Structures are given as structure tokens and as C-alpha cells.
Structure 1
């Protein structure tokens, strides 16, 4: 009975806020607020509020949630122990059984190469780094002159 009264009060307050919002000519927002305000009354009329309030105030329901939490905790603990065992003894156990883990196709493919072939060497007489900015600025200058700046 208390939950239904609270839901009705919340809906009435929400509809009041929607009316004030509509008075300020913000009709889209007022419609959205009115839709949210009607949800608690709809839940009361469908019986959902009674079902939820009956469920929340029963100690057996809370005991059930506690057992579900304990079961989840046990599952996670066994999973963590299983991962730790496989991580520590996973490679020697596989070698003892004779099965090989799949190896990478190209293990050095992702390694960076810092050798002399990594970057092209500039020519002795030319300096490409000095020429590149001049080309960029000439394009910018042409655009600025076109617009009269």
C-alpha cells in the first residue's frame, strides 16, 4: 500500500513538472517527462510494484540472493585457481604429453626493424627535408593570394 502511494505521488509530481515545462513552450521535453511520469502508475496498475515489494521484504528471497552470490563467488574462485595452475604448469605439462603448441608463423614480423634499411638515406647533394616545407608553404601562399590575404 505504501509503495503504491509513493508511485502515485511520484507520477503526480512528474505530471506537474511536465505541465510547467509545457507552459514554457518546450513541448517535446514536456511530452518526454509526462511519459516518464506515467511509468510508476502503469507499474502499480499491472501489479509489478506489489510483486517487487513482496519479494524485497521477504527474508527467504534475500537468502536466495545470498546463495546465488555465493555460487557465483565459488565459480569465479575455481576459475582463478584453474588459470593459475595452467599458467604455472601449462607448458611443461604439454611437453610431457608430447603435444606441441602451435607456433607463430613469423615470430619476428611484429618486431621493429631499426637497421640501416629502415629509412631511405638522403642523397648527398639534396636535402629533401628542406625542400618539402617550401613546397607546402608555396601551396598555402597561393591559396592565401587567391583569397586576397
Structure 2
């Protein structure tokens, strides 16, 4: 009962401020203030305020919020443990059985064994004079990548 009275008083005060603002010829601001001041009145009329007041002073409702919080905590804890452990043994075996082998597994594998710096090419041997094998290898890698993606 007190919450409804307070909300009604806030709405009445807001509408009064909106009227004063409109009198000062600031109609857009007055309309916005009126809209904000009608929200508490609408909440009272729909019964939301009564429901919130009953919930806020109900020990059963607070216990329910505690149970929901505990459930959320347990859910998040299990998710964190799953991510930390990775995939379990059963899931790994099932994944390996259903996985298909890539057409060119080396084409998309990172080159971990190589050094970060590319090998220096001698100045006397430009790329145009190299053997055709190097160019064919480049195209075979490209073909393998295209086949892998179904193109």
C-alpha cells in the first residue's frame, strides 16, 4: 500500500514538473518528463509494484533467489572445469572415429619446426631460373587447399 502511494506521488510530481517545463515552452523536454513520470503510475496500475513489494519482503522469495544463484554457480563451475580439462577420453575416441582425414593435412598444418626467419636465397639464382619442381609444388599445395574446401 505504501509503495503504491509513493509511486502515485512521484507520478503526480513528475507531471507537475512537466507542466512547468511546458509553460516555459520546452515542449520536447516536457513530453519526455511526462513519459518518465507516467511509468510508476503504469507499474502501480498493472500490479507490478505490489508483486515487487511482496517479493522484496518475502523470505521464501529470497531463498528462491539464493537457490537460483547456487544453481548458476554450479553450472558455471562445471563449465569452467570442462574447459580446463578439455575433451574426455570417451568423447575423444568418438570424435576420432567420426572424423574424416583431410586431403592435404600438411597444407594447413603450421610449420612449427621451421625457423621464424626464411632461408636466404642466393642472389645469383633468381626465381625464374629455378627448376620447375618448385613451381609445381606451389601449385599442388594450392590445389590441395582448393580440394580441401571443395572447390
- TM-score over 0.5 for the pair: yes
SS of structure 1 residue aligned to 2:62:
helix
Give the ranges of 4+ consecutive aligned residues of structure 1 lying more than 4 Å apart after TM superposition. Answer: 100-105, 112-116
Aligned length: 111
Can you list the C-alpha shifts for 1:87-108, whole angstroms capped at 9, x where unaligned?
Answer: 7x88xx95x8893797685456
TM-score (norm 1): 0.60
Structure 2 equivalent of residue 25 of structure 1: 25
TM-score (norm 2): 0.60
Structure 2 equivalent of residue 8 of structure 1: 8
Structure 2 equivalent of residue 61 of structure 1: 61
Q: CA RMSD in A?
A: 3.4
SS of structure 1 residue aligned to 2:25:
coil
In structure 1, C-alpha distance between the alignment counterparts of 2:82 and 2:10, rounded to whole Å: 50
- Structure 1: runs of 5 or more not aligned: 117-149
- Structure 2: runs of 5 or more not aligned: 111-115, 121-151
Structure 2 equivalent of residue 46 of structure 1: 46
Question: Does 1 or 2 have the higher relative contact order (CA < 8 Å, sep 6+)?
Answer: 2
